[in-house]
Amino acid sequence: MRKYPPNEPVCGAIYDNASADNPFLAAMPEMLPREEFLSTIRSTPGLPHSLPQMSPEERRQSLPLLSALFVPMDYMNAVYDQLYRAIRETYSTRTAVEEIRRINVLFNGREGIPYATQAASGSVLGVPGIGKTSTIRRALETMPQVIEHTEYMGQPFYCKQVLYLRIECPSDCSVKTLALNLVAALDRAIGSDYLHQLISLRSIAASAVATQVKILCMTHHVGLLLVDEIQNAVETARRNRQIKPLLKFLVELTNDTATAVYFVGTPVAEQLFTSQEHLRRRTRGIRLLPLKPDGTYRRFLEQLWPYQLTPQQTPLTEKLANKLFDFSGGIPAYILKIFQESQAQALLQGQGRIDERIMQRAIDILAIKVPKTYSGGTYLSDFEVNDAEADEPPPAPVPAALPREPPEESPAPVPRLYANQRGRRAAARDAADLVVAFSAGGDLLQFLRERNLLEEWPESC
Amino acid sequence: MLTFFPAPYEDELWYGIITRYHIRSGNTCWKYTIQELFPETKGYPRLGDTMPNTTMQIIAAQLPKNVLSLRDCALQHSLFPFRMRFQPLDKKREYLQEFLDGKNMQPKFLFTTKKNGAEMPLRFCPQCIADDGKQYGESYWHTEHQIASLPLCPKHLCRLVSMPKQNTMPIGQQLILPPEEPPDADFAATETEYSLTEALHYMYTLPYETSPNILSENLSTAVENAGFLEAGSVLRQSWDVQQLYEALVERFGSEIVVRCFGRHITKAHARRLRQHEIYSTEEYALLAVLLDIPPPAFFSGEALTLKLKEKMQKLECQGQVYTKSRAAQLLEIREDQLLPYAKRFGVRPFWVQSGKPCTDEKRQTYPVTIHLSQQERDTLDAYMAANNMDVYGHALRYFMQKTVNEWKNPTAD
């Protein structure tokens, strides 16, 4: 039985046995076990009942249902785990009294005493199309966005605890725009009207908006701030060098309000994060690489494959799977796109089902270009948890709460993977070929002697 | 619907709660907070009042049920219970109910402020600011500190400080918290300030339902004990309002007396005070301190002792006969007041009665000759000297009256 009903963005607070002076921590939703989390985020739209009777046009019209398909993978649980812990850390860091003290400090523009511990911060970077945003959105949707408090321990206590806010990094990289984005997200979450009020003040300074945003984050007890598309900041930074104020604001926000901040974006942002030591420390996190052509990929395809709206079903062959992998680079969004377009092309061509030729045509039309190298990271496949291990009942509640560390990341750039080996086929060489002997790396003289290929002078000479 | 509202602290002024909302909203300007909270209100809402008003009702309507209790707002976050302290219980209940029903009480209670004229500045205790900061993380405006005549903080007994005016705007149009760095606390208070603080604090902290005992004559008794009765007004017991006002000014200073009583106390005002028809708690508190009335005496059924009555009864019981002048001297009243007081208190005269002027038919003189031995004569002289008797005839009349009275009323005494 879950503490809060799923897919309810606003819930009344339910308190458990957390410390008496911290209603926000007491009202936190519980962390979901892996299996429950994965089944919660799964989305498997039903195929139309009248599919066999549908015309090709109707079938093409139904193809967008593939966009609603969401296949859960183990890396998603790792992302959820990080975000959940970040939210919890925010509420552990600041007590109610400390929060009030901090609001007054901010309001009066004084220098405050730093928090005893820092709020969590980090980043989730990954190749475009890998599913970062969808994963984060679905992970966060497993908990209510807003918890409404009206009474705590018999005393009136009216406030709305915003567990998380998702905003996009403004393309102009301005602090004011980011702050206004944040206020708009807050308005959407709790039904307030701060944005209208702020934009009506034409001459308000960016610093004043920033201060108000910090205060609002404290007043509404924002647990986690997710800044998506952080690569926008890098691109703008290159143009007009405005990145520093924006990042400074976000760092200040973390320090002043103890609100966890997570950045989400493509690996382009990594160069920005590593440019300064304090930023590097605050932006560590999961770096996602595409799927490997392995079992995880095959399981992904197996869940995708039944969604064929063509009159006939094509079985999932090794050849098709490899082709799909090689042209999608193992990026789930591309896999889905090619699969969808292949069906559209098959229907357009009057074909009963997809085949290699149709798929190639779809690939050509989509003109997908997969990068040849990626900056370091962890392949989606490497997050996979051994099912046997996962099925075991947890021995005690403690392991469930412990974070599952993702496999170690490799900082060096990694080449993209192919299902079908690329390049010229290796020429067949004789066993006595010197190149073969050299490649084997043994004692070359011994090799030559054994094969009687060495001409040696007699010792008497 | 508001998205948050600060939980009121203990004894926090309503204005202070709104001020804390302003700070939590992060608004850069008071105006925006006021617009946010009172979008339908034209002009500025009366936030600076110390009495409950429609601002509480407007806010409560924008919050979920049970978050903000109007009853608590009126009774715990305004001076309503203090100002209503001397109202009869049925009136108190009626006013509170009217407020809870959404009526605006403001016009009815204009009398509470009409003497004040200019708006009083908000006041704070430097020690409370430090304590609140430690306990709650911020300081706030205490309702009790806003009682205009309260000189000291009842908790710390240091002098209350008025918030310096930063501009000419009324308090209700600006939302300010007490200063974060207050001046040093001033503990050099006078005995009068301690007494007044104690009296006001007592009246402030009584339960709302506690009303004065209208049958009690303790105030009149205290006025009489303190000698503020008009000369010759033994039966009517009129107060010497001039003398009383001067004593008040001498004790408390003219500023506070003028604020509470005005420039003088009229006879009618004094009569209404005596009959508990004046509802200003501060007036009663000042009188309590001046006349040395324990504050509970206004509310309990216990009657204060009238010192003169007690003295007269004591002298009567002693069984001695005084001359009229001596009796008046002992009671510290005039000779002509002796008999009226004796009648009022039901005391038999214990001084020589010259008798009322009678007609000749009624009055007869009986010459009496008493033969005494020298020893008897000496004893009588000693008795008369001990009892301040000058004339043998008075002594004889006393002995005769006493013996005859005892014979007539054998059960008396």
Per-residue pLDDT reduced to its tens digit, B70-85: 999 999 999 999 999 9
Q: Are A10 and A144 in contact (CB under 8 A)?
A: yes
How far is CA B98 from each of CA A131, B36, B55, B208, B330, rounded to the nearest angstrom? 61, 27, 15, 15, 56
Q: Are A261 and A121 in contact (CB under 8 A)?
A: yes
Residue B215 has pLDDT above 90, yes or no: no
Instruction: Output the pLDDT for position B361.
Output: 61
Query: Are B229 and B290 part of one and the same domain?
Result: yes
Contacts for A458 with CB less than 8 Å, ≥ 6 apart = none
Instruction: Give the up-direction half-sphere exposure of residue A419: CA atoms within 13 A in the CB hemisphere.
Output: 22
Query: Are B115 and B36 part of one and the same domain?
Result: yes
Query: Are B19 and B102 part of one and the same domain?
Result: yes
Domain(s) of CATH 3.40.50.300: residues in chain A = 10-30+73-289
Contacts for A370 with CB less than 8 Å, ≥ 6 apart = A327, A328, A329, A331, A334, A416
- Nearest by CB: B64 against A103, A150, A208: A150
Instruction: Output the pLDDT for position B398.
Output: 82
Token duo for residue B145: 């500190």
Instruction: Output the pLDDT for position B214.
Output: 86
Instruction: Output the pLDDT for position A144.
Output: 95
Q: How far is A108 from chain B (nearest CA, A)?
A: 9
List the domain range (segments joined by +) for residue B334: 307-408
Residue A387 has pLDDT above 70, yes or no: no
Q: Are B186 and B158 in contact (CB under 8 A)?
A: yes
Average of pLDDT values for A344-361? 91
Give B23's contacts in chain A (Cβ within 8 Å).
Answer: 103-104, 107, 215
Spell out the long-range contacts of A337-341 with Cβ–Cβ below 8 A and sequence spacing 24 or more: A337/A366, A337/A368, A338/A362, A338/A363, A338/A366, A338/A368, A339/A66, A339/A304, A339/A307, A340/A63, A340/A66, A340/A67, A341/A365, A341/A366
Residue B253 has pLDDT above 90, yes or no: yes
Q: In whole angstroms, what is the distance from residue A411 CA to residue A199 CA? A: 43
Lowest-confidence segment of A8-22, A311-325, A333-347, B203-217 by average pLDDT? A8-22
Secondary structure (H, E, C), A337-400:
HHHHHHHHHHHHCCCCCCCHHHHHHHHHHHCCCCCCEECCCEEHHHHCCCHHHHHCCCCCHHHH
Highest mean predicted confidence (pLDDT) among A97-106, A240-249, B11-20? B11-20
Query: Are B144 and B23 part of one and the same domain?
Result: yes
3-state secondary structure of B142: strand
How far is CA A33 from each of CA A89, A124, A387, rounded to the nearest angstrom? 19, 21, 14
- B387 in a structural domain: yes
Average of pLDDT values for A285-307? 91
3-state secondary structure of B120: coil
Give A192's contacts in chain B (Cβ within 8 Å).
Answer: 3
Residue B18 has pLDDT above 90, yes or no: yes
Residue A31 confidence class, pLDDT cut points 50, 70, 90: very high
SS3 content of chain A, % helix, strand, coil (to 5): 50, 10, 40
Which of B298, B315, B339 is the last residue before a domain boundary? B298
Instruction: Output the pLDDT for position A30.
Output: 92
Instruction: Output the pLDDT for position A108.
Output: 85
Give B63's contacts in chain A (Cβ within 8 Å).
Answer: 158
Query: A144's torsion region: left (phi>0), alpha (psi -120 to 50) or beta?
Result: beta
Query: Are B148 and B259 part of one and the same domain?
Result: no
- Is the Cβ of A367 closer than 8 Å to some Cβ of chain B? no
Q: Do A158 and B64 touch (CB under 8 A)?
A: yes
- Is the Cβ of A185 closer than 8 Å to some Cβ of chain B? no
Instruction: Output the pLDDT for position A1.
Output: 77
End-to-end CA distance of chain A: 93
Residue A396 has pLDDT above 60, yes or no: no
Q: In whole angstroms, what is the distance from residue B38 CA to residue B44 CA? A: 9
Among B158, B150, B151, smallest CA distance to B130 is for: B158
Phi, psi of A203, deg, nearest 5: -100, 15
Q: Are A123 and A132 in contact (CB under 8 A)?
A: no
SS3 content of chain B, % helix, strand, coil (to 5): 50, 5, 50
In this structure, chain A runs to a length of 461
Residue A97 confidence class, pLDDT cut points 50, 70, 90: confident
Residue A400 has pLDDT above 80, yes or no: no
Q: Do A219 and B68 touch (CB under 8 A)?
A: no
Residue A401 has pLDDT above 80, yes or no: no
- Is the Cβ of B111 closer than 8 Å to some Cβ of chain A? no
- Is the Cβ of A52 closer than 8 Å to some Cβ of chain B? no
Q: In whole angstroms, what is the distance from residue A222 CA to residue A130 CA? A: 27
Q: In whole angstroms, what is the distance from residue B145 CA to residue B122 CA? A: 8
- B222 in a structural domain: yes
Query: Are B287 and B228 part of one and the same domain?
Result: yes
- Nearest by CB: B24 against A191, A208, A219: A219
pLDDT in tens, A181-218: 999 999 999 999 888 888 877 677 888 888 889 999 99
Query: Are B153 and B55 part of one and the same domain?
Result: yes
What letter represents residue A230's amino acid? I
pLDDT in tens, A219-266: 999 999 999 988 887 777 666 666 677 777 888 888 888 889 999 998
- Is the Cβ of A212 closer than 8 Å to some Cβ of chain B? yes
Query: Are B269 and B366 part of one and the same domain?
Result: no
Among A145, A185, A134, smallest CA distance to A28 is for: A145
Instruction: Output the pLDDT for position A403.
Output: 39
- B47 in a structural domain: yes
Query: Are B224 and B340 part of one and the same domain?
Result: no
How do strand A121-126 and strand A287-289 relate by DSSP bridges?
Answer: parallel
Instruction: Output the pLDDT for position A410.
Output: 45
Q: Do B25 and A104 touch (CB under 8 A)?
A: no
Residue A444 has pLDDT above 50, yes or no: yes
Query: Are B256 and B138 part of one and the same domain?
Result: no
- B191 in a structural domain: no
Alpha helices per DSSP H over A17-130: 23-26, 34-41, 56-62, 74-93, 96-108
DSSP E strand stretches across A80-232: 121-126, 146-152, 155-162, 164-168, 224-228
- B74 in a structural domain: yes
Query: Are B165 and B21 part of one and the same domain?
Result: yes
Higher pLDDT, B234 or A72: A72
- Is the Cβ of B71 closer than 8 Å to some Cβ of chain A? no
Phi, psi of B293, deg, nearest 5: -95, 125
- B274 in a structural domain: yes
Q: In whole angstroms, what is the distance from residue B15 CA to residue B8 CA? A: 11
- B257 in a structural domain: yes
Lowest-confidence segment of A8-12, A21-25, A240-244 by average pLDDT? A240-244
Which of B144, B173, B202 is the last residue before a domain boundary? B173
Q: In whole angstroms, what is the distance from residue B266 CA to residue B279 CA? A: 16
CATH topology of domain A10-30+73-289: Rossmann fold (3.40.50)
Q: Per the structure, how many domains does chain B have?
A: 3
Give A183's contacts in chain B (Cβ within 8 Å).
Answer: none
Residue B291 has pLDDT above 60, yes or no: yes
Q: In whole angstroms, what is the distance from residue B93 CA to residue B96 CA? A: 5
Average of pLDDT values for A67-92? 92
Residue A162 confidence class, pLDDT cut points 50, 70, 90: very high
Q: How many beta-carbon pairs below 8 A join chains A and B?
A: 80
Which of B298, B318, B350 is the last residue before a domain boundary? B298
DSSP E strand stretches across A221-354: 224-228, 260-265, 287-289
Q: Is B412 exposed, middle or buried (0-12, 13-18, 19+ CB in 10 A)?
A: exposed
Query: Are B20 and B147 part of one and the same domain?
Result: yes
Give B136's contacts in chain A (Cβ within 8 Å).
Answer: 97, 100
What letter represents residue B299's amino acid? F
Q: How far is B11 from chain A (nearest CA, A)?
A: 15
Average of pLDDT values for B112-125? 69
Residue B156 confidence class, pLDDT cut points 50, 70, 90: very high
Instruction: Output the pLDDT for position B56.
Output: 93
How far is CA B40 from each of CA B33, B34, B51, rounded to the nearest angstrom? 13, 10, 21
- Is the Cβ of B64 closer than 8 Å to some Cβ of chain A? yes
Q: How many CB atoms lie within 10 A of CB A95?
A: 16
Average of pLDDT values for B379-384? 90
pLDDT in tens, B305-352: 999 999 999 988 887 778 888 888 888 888 888 888 888 888 888 887
Q: Are A119 and A254 in contact (CB under 8 A)?
A: yes
Instruction: Output the pLDDT for position A202.
Output: 66
